[in-house]
Structure formats: structure tokens, C-alpha cells
Amino acid sequence: MSELQSIDKNYVSNTYARFPVEIVSGKGSEVYDDTGKRYIDMGSGIGVTSFGIADEGWCNAVTAQLGKVQHMSNLYYTEPCALLAKLLCERTGMKKVFFGNSGAEANECSIKVARKWAAEKKGAEYSTIITLWNSFHGRTLTTLAATGQDHYHELFQPLTPGFVHVHAEDLAELEETIKANKTAALMLECVQGEGGVVTLSREYLEGAAKLCKENDILLIIDEVQTGNGRTGKLYSYMHYDVQPDLVSTAKGLGGGLPLGACLMGEKVQSVLGFGDHGSTFGGNPVCCAGALSIMERLDDAFLADVQAKAEKARNAFTGAKGIESVCGLGLMIGLKTAKPAGDVVKRCNEKGVLCLTAKDKVRLLPALNIPEDVLMEAVEIIKEVCAED
């Protein structure tokens, strides 16, 4: 272990099992460790660095804003925050944006809006939020309660009450649960990222959206991981014929700086008023300037290219030795491998490719602008690793 690694082990809270790799520099989808070894980055900081490391356009936008005003608080207007909110609304048809700093906070905002909406419209007891088993919505005590995976809950009781979980793909269970509870909203991911890159079927999501309408409850879509071009559409719900009332997003939105957003649709646009919610850092001008430089480039032609590259990678994996199935949407790729996913990722590290796991899958979230030849170089290395005895 290097000296830096042992300092980190001694002083940084033990919550992460880090790989024995120290990354010191990079450009685009290629990064280098302290020994000069090159890696292809197929994780992009868990879907955060949408245009890779040190992207020129993003760096210019961020550093230009950094040299003007780095932070002013939400007591004053700043340009990047306003322009980003406008762009997000124009591109989605949503009406208002609340900015926070993370995915968990974006979901907290969606949950608060849903509870206040239901309390005002239906009565304070209409506070139940339904989420899916196997979901992941964050690490705060409320978003943990929303997360439908018991092992995250055990050590942190009591969690925020009012969350009920249902099984994905079971519309009958969803309908019963909506009716059995005083329900405010349904919250779900179109592709469960941490849950193993599990994509909801069209029949289920569109059926669930219909049930929300019929029962006058809100549909919240957690686009923290799937949003901002990741799946080849601007937001993953756009692959389906559904209109969410609330969209939470973060991860790739800021391109590498902390930024989360809760997008509010027509029905809920006026739910929050002065003093109902807030965030000291939320809408920070530097983070928003970076996000603007990302969002402005996610046009239809760019997203079509994301889909085309993803298709090529998916086709190359399909049927390869040691790969049992390929799942996910766009550049959110899950691989069910014959060998344990953790072993595949470890071996890929040795061979110069950084990958992620999600449950029992190998998970790939490369930068959206990864050049096709670099992507396919990584694909070939991953295939070699999967095929090794």
C-alpha cells in the first residue's frame, strides 16, 4: 500500500472499499494512476462526468464562472442558476426547478412537494409514498426509508415513516397498495441502477402512470442515475409514454460538480412557497455553469449518437463467452457474467479498464462522449476478462 493510501485508510471514514488505485490525472475517458498506468474509465465517477475528465467546454464554463462569482447564496439572483432552470423546463415541459446538491436531496425535495401537495389537496393523512422493492433513492434517513432494500435499513432505525414498497411489474399489487393506504405518490426509477440495472417494462410503467392518474396520486421519477442523456434520451421516462409530476436528478447533471435538481410539473409547480424549502449551496453558480455547458450539448443529434454507440457495445457483448445477458438502456449497461461481477471488475482494473458493479451485475456508465474506438477497446478487454477461465 502506498503512503497516500495508508493516510487515507487512517483518516477517511471507513465507508468505502476503495480499489488500490490512485487516479492523478485524465482527459476524456482515459485516466492515469500515480504510476502512469492508463485506464479507460467506464464508470465516469458513477455516471457523473458526463463529458469525461477535464472536458474543455465544461472546464471553460466552470473556470469562467469561478473567476466571476463562486457563490452568493440564494438571497440574490445569479445568471447560471436562472438559465439552467429555464433550459431544464424548456427541454422537459416541466414548470419549476428546485436546486440542491445531490441525488438524495433532489428526492427529498420531490417527497416534500408530494407530501405538501397531498396534504393540501386530500388531507394531512395522505402522506404515504409508494416505492419499489430493489430501488435506491439515497442515503439520508428519508431517502433510505424510500429505498426498497432492507439491508440498508437495519442499522439506522427509526427511519422516516410513511413509505411502502411494492414489487416491480405487478400492477395488481400496486393498485391494491394505492387503495389500501392514504397515498400521496408513487416514486420509481425507470432503470433501477443500484438494484442491478433493471429496466421497467413499458407495460408496467405506463400502467403505473395510468393508475396514478386514476387515483389522483403523483408520479415521481427518480432520474438521478438515468437522467441527463445517460440512456440515450434526455431523461429515461422519455422512452415511455408517461408524464411525471416530479423528476429528481443529479449525478451527470453537473458534469462533475455537486448539483441536484427537482423538476416540478404543472400540477405541483406552485406547491412550494417562500420558506418551505431551501439549500445554502443549491443552485451554486459554478455548478450551474458546468451543468449548462453539459445540458446545452445534449441535443437530439448527440443523443442519437449515444444510442448508436450503446447499440454497438451491447451487440458486441451479446452472446460473448462468459456473458449471460446484457441489460439496461443506452450507455447504462448491465452485464450478467458467468464469473462473480466483483472478480470481473477487479481483473478489468488490472487490465486497464475501470468498471462498476450493481448487485450481481457488472455495470458500465461511460462518459456520454466516449469516442467509439475507446469504447470498443474497453468492450474487447471486458469480453476477454469474461471469457478467461
Ligand X SMILES: *Cc1c(COP(=O)(O)O)cnc(C)c1O
Q: Which runs of E-coded beta strand occur in 223-272? A: 246-249, 260-264
Peptide bond into 340 cis (omega under 30): no
Residue 158: CB minimum distance to ligand X, A: 21
For ligand X, the closer of residues 138 and 285 by Cβ is 138
For ligand X, the closer of residues 137 and 239 by Cβ is 137
Residue 376: CB minimum distance to ligand X, A: 26
For ligand X, the closer of residues 226 and 386 by Cβ is 226
Residue 278: CB minimum distance to ligand X, A: 17
Q: What is the DSSP letter of 157?
A: P
C-alpha to C-alpha distance for 156 and 165, rounded to whole angstroms? 18
Give whole-number Cα distances, 65 to 48, 84, 102, 130, 255, in Å. Answer: 20, 14, 20, 40, 15
C-alpha to C-alpha distance for 145 and 139, rounded to whole angstroms? 9
| Residue 107 grid cell | 428526492
Residue 365: CB minimum distance to ligand X, A: 10
For ligand X, the closer of residues 55 and 189 by Cβ is 189
C-alpha to C-alpha distance for 127 and 377, rounded to whole angstroms? 50
For ligand X, the closer of residues 107 and 228 by Cβ is 107
**What is the identity of the amino acid at 269?**
Q
Residue 141: CB minimum distance to ligand X, A: 13
For the chain, counts of helices (H) and of strands (E): 12, 17
Q: What is the DSSP letter of 388?
A: -
Residue 189: CB minimum distance to ligand X, A: 5
Helices (H), the chain: 3-11, 44-47, 56-66, 79-92, 103-121, 141-146, 171-180, 202-214, 285-295, 300-317, 341-350, 372-387
* CB 20 within 8 Å of CB 226: no
| Residue 8 grid cell | 487515507
Residue 34: CB minimum distance to ligand X, A: 26
Give whole-number Cα distances, 355 to 19, 183, 346, in Å. Answer: 11, 39, 9
Residue 341: CB minimum distance to ligand X, A: 17
For ligand X, the closer of residues 166 and 224 by Cβ is 224
C-alpha to C-alpha distance for 53 and 61, rounded to whole angstroms? 14
User: Which candidate, 354, 304, 382, places its Cα nearest to that of 49?
Assistant: 354
Q: Grid cell 408496467 — which residue?
A: 204
For ligand X, the closer of residues 126 and 163 by Cβ is 163
User: Which residue, judged by CB position, is nearest to ligand X in the bound state?
Assistant: 103
For ligand X, the closer of residues 197 and 335 by Cβ is 197
For ligand X, the closer of residues 233 and 347 by Cβ is 233
Apex CA 185: angle with CA 180 and CA 188, to 5°? 110
Strand partners, 26: 31
For ligand X, the closer of residues 92 and 135 by Cβ is 135
Residue 357: CB minimum distance to ligand X, A: 14
Q: What is the DSSP letter of 53?
A: B
C-alpha to C-alpha distance for 292 and 81, rounded to whole angstroms? 9
Which spans of this chain sit near ligand X (rule: CB under 6 A)? 102-104, 107, 136-138, 189, 193-194, 222, 224-225, 250-251
Residue 375: CB minimum distance to ligand X, A: 22
